[in-house]
């Protein structure tokens, strides 16, 4: 009897080992890190949901070349050290062949350095500093357009469409995203013939903008106000400047896509514009199919464009994996990413090359109207 039991146990163990081996061979591990808590959560939480939705759809449709994706994700907690440590965990412990995530470049750079050292491709969802691939290395790819493209579009819209010839610029000097955005806006606005009448500063986390508002109003109103802030400060900045008496149109970049109304209320519906990645009013099939699927999955419509960027990022990665055929390795995924050309996504068409890991996409200008962002124009 003992021999029979021993034999049965051995058979069960052998079967389990074979099953695990088969599972490992048929699974492709894709990892992600999103800051679903902390100051970046209003961008990264929807982005993570968009990413997870795309992975679910891919697996439900049979996976990639007969293999399913095993998706592993961690919360970066809006902390660069945590993000870097999670990248190490994904690669060394979970066996991720590619990682994704981040709506801000500071966190993308922190995790990207780890991925680069390991030779693992990192595809960033919403990080927009255009030199990320240069800083991180040849394993880094962006799903979004660069800050330069976004700010240039905002400046062109302000000067050419709104007729603004003077501009006030408010800059959060604690983030590379916001300092880059304001620098690019100023560069383009002055190139077009506009004049910057005043540039003022603050640091993320400041809650009182009364001194900045008063300095701005003391010199008389400008034709446009460019507000280079992160998502958490947007509604407060709008509320305090409008309450102080500033009436000029305001425009900002994609960070303002998250929340404009929580503090400002109806004041956010007064001449507020956002240069961003897509519009929910786009009637194309790819956009409307994404919105319908996201709404069904989560019970709410996509909160902002970062949900769409997360969705697109997952499909970019899946496309590169599919192009690998049977040779699915980190190195080959990286190489195949460079061969993606004309991939139609929710936020535009994506093409990479060996020379360029930043997609060249147009910018959508939206206006805050009755609690939503209404499409105004494609710019750039």
- Taking the C-alpha atoms of residue 188 and residue 194, their distance in angstroms, rounded to an integer, is 9
Q: Which H or E element spans position 286?
A: helix 285-298
This prediction's pTM? 0.86
Q: Could you tell me which of 210, 296, 305, 330 has the C-alpha nearest to residue 255?
A: 305
- pLDDT, residue 205, reads 82
- pLDDT, residue 380, reads 67
- Taking the C-alpha atoms of residue 87 and residue 77, their distance in angstroms, rounded to an integer, is 13
DSSP assignment letter at 125: S
Q: Could you tell me which of 67, 50, 51 has the C-alpha nearest to residue 59?
A: 67
- pLDDT, residue 344, reads 96
Per-residue pLDDT of the chain (380 residues; tens, 9 = 90+): 445 434 434 443 444 333 333 344 689 999 999 999 998 999 999 999 999 999 999 999 999 999 999 999 999 999 999 999 999 999 999 999 999 999 999 999 999 999 999 999 999 999 999 999 999 999 999 999 999 999 999 999 999 999 999 999 999 999 889 999 999 999 999 999 999 999 999 998 889 999 999 999 999 999 999 999 999 899 999 999 999 999 999 999 998 987 899 999 999 999 999 999 999 999 999 999 999 999 999 999 999 999 999 999 999 999 999 999 999 999 999 999 999 999 999 999 999 999 999 999 999 999 999 999 999 999 86
- pLDDT, residue 258, reads 79
Dihedral angle of Cα 10, 15, 16, 22, to the nearest 10 degrees: 150
- Taking the C-alpha atoms of residue 368 and residue 328, their distance in angstroms, rounded to an integer, is 44
- Taking the C-alpha atoms of residue 125 and residue 142, their distance in angstroms, rounded to an integer, is 7
C-beta atoms surrounding 217 within 10 Å: 15
- pLDDT, residue 235, reads 96
- pLDDT, residue 3, reads 53
DSSP assignment letter at 145: P
């Amino acid at each position: 009897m003992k021999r029979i039991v021993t034999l049965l146990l051995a058979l069960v163990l052998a079967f389990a080992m074979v099953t695990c081996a088969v599972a490992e061979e048929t699974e492709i591990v894709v990892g992600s890190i999103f800051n679903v808590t902390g100051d970046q959560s209003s961008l990264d939480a929807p982005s993570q949901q968009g990413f997870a939705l795309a992975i679910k759809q891919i697996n439900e449709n049979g996976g990639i070349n007969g293999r399913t994706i095993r998706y592993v994700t961690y919360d970066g907690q809006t902390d660069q050290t945590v993000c870097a440590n999670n990248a190490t965990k994904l690669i060394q412990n979970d066996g991720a062949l590619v990682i994704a995530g981040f709506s801000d470049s500071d966190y993308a750079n922190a995790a990207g350095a780890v991925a680069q050292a390991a030779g693992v491709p990192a595809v960033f969802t919403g990080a927009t500093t255009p030199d990320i691939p240069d800083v991180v290395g040849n394993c880094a790819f962006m799903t979004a357009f660069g800050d330069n493209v976004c700010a240039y579009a905002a400046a062109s819209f302000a000067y050419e469409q709104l007729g603004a010839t003077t501009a006030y610029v408010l800059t959060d000097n604690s983030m590379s995203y916001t300092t880059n955005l304001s620098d690019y806006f100023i560069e383009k606005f002055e190139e077009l013939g506009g004049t910057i009448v005043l540039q003022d500063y603050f640091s993320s986390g400041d809650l009182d903008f009364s001194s900045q508002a008063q300095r701005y109003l003391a010199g008389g109103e400008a034709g446009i106000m460019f507000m280079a802030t992160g998502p958490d400060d947007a509604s407060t900045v709008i509320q305090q400047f409008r309450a102080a008496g500033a009436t000029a149109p305001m425009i900002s970049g994609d960070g303002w896509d998250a929340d404009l109304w929580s503090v400002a209320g109806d004041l956010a519906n007064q001449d507020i514009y956002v240069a961003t990645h897509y519009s929910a009013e786009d009637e194309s099939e790819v956009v409307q199919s994404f919105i319908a699927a996201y709404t069904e999955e989560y019970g709410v419509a996509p909160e902002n464009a970062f949900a769409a960027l997360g969705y697109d990022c997952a499909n970019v990665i899946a496309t590169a994996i599919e192009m690998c055929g049977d040779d699915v390795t980190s190195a080959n995924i990286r190489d195949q990413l460079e061969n993606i050309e004309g991939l139609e996504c929710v936020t535009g068409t994506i093409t990479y090359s060996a020379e360029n890991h930043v997609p060249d996409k147009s910018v959508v200008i939206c206006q805050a109207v009755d609690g939503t962002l209404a499409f105004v124009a494609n710019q750039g």
